[in-house]
Every structure is written in C-alpha cells, then in structure tokens.
A and B are shown apart, each in its own frame.
Chain A
Amino acid sequence: MQYPYLKRLPGFEYLAPETVGEAVELLARHKGQARVLAGGTDLLLDMKRRQELPQYVIGLKNVRSLDFLNYDESGGLSFGPLVTVHFVETSPLIKEKFPVLSQAAATLGSVQVRNLATVVGNLCSALPSADMAPGLIVLGARLKITGTNGQRLVAVEDFFRAPGESILAPDELVTEVRVPNPPAGSGMVYLKHMTRSAMDLSMVGVAALVALKNGTCDEVRICLGTSGPTPLRAVKAEEVLKGKRFEANLIEKAAAAASRECHPRSSLRATAAYRRDMVKVLTRRALTRAGEQAA
C-alpha cells in the first residue's frame, strides 16, 4: 500500500455531463482513462487504495434523466442508474411487487452506504458477492446499455464475465434496469449468509422465485451469489423441480443439485466446502419459503 495512513484520493479531472449523450461522448473520448461515478462507494475506495487511477472521473449526478423509477401493470418495473439501494429497500411498490429486491437491498452494507450506493453500480462492479444481482436474475431483469454505437439490451444473467469484470465496453453506460412482472402469485426470497448480523459481505447468497399451479411447480428460478466467479443461475437445481409436485423431498434434491453445480472458492470469509454446504442449506430454505408464499 502506498498511502497506508492518509488514504487521500489521487488526483483526477472531474467531469459533470448533463445528458446521456454527453456522458457517452466523454467516455468515448477518454476511452480507458475515464471512470463513471455513481454513488462512489466502490470507485472512491478503489481509488483511495490506488487500485483504480482514472485520469477523468465522470459524475453521473447531473444527468437527471438517469434518476427515475416507473412501474406499469403490463411492462413491469424500470429504473435508472441513479436509483439508490436505500430507495429500493424502502419503496412500498417494490416491497409489494418485487420483495426479493427490497430484501436483498436491506442486507447491503449500512444505511449510510445504502443511501449512497446505486443498484446499477453494484452490478457494474461485478463482484460475485454483489447482493443486488441474484434477485434481479431470478426476476429475469435486463439492462439497457448505451454506447457511442447505440443501445443494446442484456440480461443481468449474461452481464457478468469474471470477478470484477462485466461485458460493458469502456465507452458504454448502463442507462436502465428493466424488471418484468413475475408470474402471477409467485413467491420470491433472498437469503444471505454472513459472519456478522450486519455490515458484512455474503459468504453465500441465494435468491429463489417459485410459481405454483395446483401444487405443481410451474416456474422456478434460483440464483446463487458468492458461489462462483460470477452470480450463478442454478439451472440443474431448477430442472429437478420444474413441472413436478413442489414437495419437501424434491426441494431437498434441488438443494443438493445446487450445491453440486456451484463452484465457490475458499477465501478469508469461508472455505469452498463450507460455502457448498451452505448453498444447500440456503437453497432449501429459500425454496421452501418462496413456495409457502406462492399462492
């Protein structure tokens, strides 16, 4: 570490575009030398630690068109990259219609961090432990990405490439999150296992979404956090349940399948073997609770 005590920020030029067009243009002009700043809870820390040394910091704060949240019965939810984790945690609409997102938001950092941190920034940092990712993935959310060459829509599931690496090109900006309505009557849950009861990154996080029809599993989606290099959809576990009766023995089998298909690593926080065990426990719990909620 170069500045173990002072931890001041390195120098940079601060740019404050007011439109998406300007922001993308600045990113393209300073390709690779510019970083977008949203809540700053990751970027400023990385800069203090000299892990990031951008020449230009592009503050998104003044791009007012990126601060929105809309809902409609047919299209579902859409929100911009300035929406904070705290907003998602406390929004009555999200609590009612997309509770897995408010649950996940409530587990991220402290109130002070959640008041700054954005959901999109959490995704863009692309850590396997990103708490906002599993819930968005089981909901089938997509990201609108805007660059100098136009726009594209990418499923959150396909957004992550490696730890700390997403599919974003250096001149691209995430400009919207689109979350379709879940199947009617579905239950959804996010569970996070941590060493402490608050202010900790997850050892394992599991999101599950379940929709039932006459006791049969009509739709099931499971996503595991901190269980591999990227947030991971547990496809084999889903297959165990899909179209079958939603019963304890099958839930157990699905949980075991999830535990087999994940590939966690050992770190300071937990060993791979422990994580694998906890994936099983949490997947079982998450499926059971989501199933209870499903009408």
Chain B
Amino acid sequence: MKLMMQLNINGVLHESEINVRRTLLEVLRETFGLMGTKKGCNEGECGACTVLLDGKSVLACLVLAVEAQGKRIDTVEGLAENGELHPLQESFIRHGALQCGFCTPGMLMAARGLLNENPKPGEPEVRQAIAGNLCRCTGYDKIVKAILDAAGRP
C-alpha cells in the first residue's frame, strides 16, 4: 500500500509516494538519499539510526515513515548550519571522539536530544543519554567528554 507522504526533514518539506511498510530509516536513506543516518542492527539495539522527532531522540529503524508525517525530523545532515559545524560536531573533532565514525551520527543526535531537554547535563546524564548507542571503537570516554564540553561543562 502506497501513500503520498509529506515529511519535514531538517526544516525542508519533502514529498514522495512511499509504501507504508517503509521505516523512517529506509525512507531517509533510500528515498531521499540522506545517508548520514546509519543502519546498524535495524532492531533498536545499537542507536546508529538515532534521529530527532519533534526534538526528541528516537530510533528511525522503529518508526514508520507514515507516522513521522506532521512532525519535525532532524537528522545529522541538519546539524551544521550555513556551512558552520554545530558545537557538538566541533567538540567531537576536538576531543577525537570518533574513529571509524559509524556510530557518530547517532551519538550526535542522541546528544542533541539530551541538550534539548537538559542544556547543562552532568556526566551521569550524558552516559544515560547514550546508553542505547553502541560504539565499537572509542571506549566512550572521549564521546562523553566531547558532549560535556559542548554543553559548557568541564
């Protein structure tokens, strides 16, 4: 079953005829070519597909695209504005908080979701916010430091 869907992705309205069985993850990557959002496990365990729906972090592999209509979808592609990296991105680079980079979009969006809700989190809150994001490379420490730093925390 296909429907004409309208999706607000990073502030831009996209329109396309899409099968209702497509997840938001599939639609972002395959319909709109936004490859920043990663497909890791495809079943909720790894966090690589984290995007924001109306400012809250969710897993794009567990959301139907049809149900994301009428909401604002934010992906990693929308973090930088006018060619300027987002403070979280700057901080990840400064701290060397990535190696292969596969988990990074999900980490950034989970961090963004946290800062939306709590602009001055402590370390426990940061660790909580990325508890559902797996990283095979970094050991998490630098990621936690990068997020705290971006939030203006020592």
**Cα–Cα distance between A199 and B59 once the two chains are bound (Å):** 14
Chain B positions within 8 Å of A90 at CB level: 117
Known A8-B26, A9-B23, A10-B21; judge A112-B1 contact (CB<8 A). Answer: no
Interface of chain B residues 86 through 144 with chain A (CB within 8 A) = 110, 113-114, 117, 128-129, 131-133
Known A61-B67, A111-B57, A111-B113; judge A199-B43 contact (CB<8 A). Answer: no
Q: Would you call A14 and B62 a contact (CB within 8 A)?
A: no
* Interface membership of A93, Cβ < 8 A: no
Number of residues in A with C-beta < 8 Å to the partner? 30
Interface of chain B residues 38 through 57 with chain A (CB within 8 A) = 42-45, 47, 50, 53, 56-57
Chain A positions within 8 Å of B128 at CB level: 111, 198
Q: Would you call A115 and B1 a contact (CB within 8 A)?
A: no
**Cα–Cα distance between A40 and B61 once the two chains are bound (Å):** 10
Chain B positions within 8 Å of A113 at CB level: 44, 59, 62, 132
Question: Who on chain A is nearest to B109 by CB?
Answer: A112
* Interface membership of B20, Cβ < 8 A: yes
* Interface membership of A275, Cβ < 8 A: no
**Cα–Cα distance between A109 and B44 once the two chains are bound (Å):** 9
Chain A positions within 8 Å of B131 at CB level: 110-111, 197-199
CB distance from B19 to the nearest CB of A (A): 8
Chain A positions within 8 Å of B44 at CB level: 41, 45, 109, 112-113
Partner of B132, one of A40, A59, A110: A110
Residues of A near any B CB (own CB < 8 A): 7-14, 37, 39-41, 44-45, 48, 57, 59, 61, 86, 90, 109-113, 115-116, 197-199
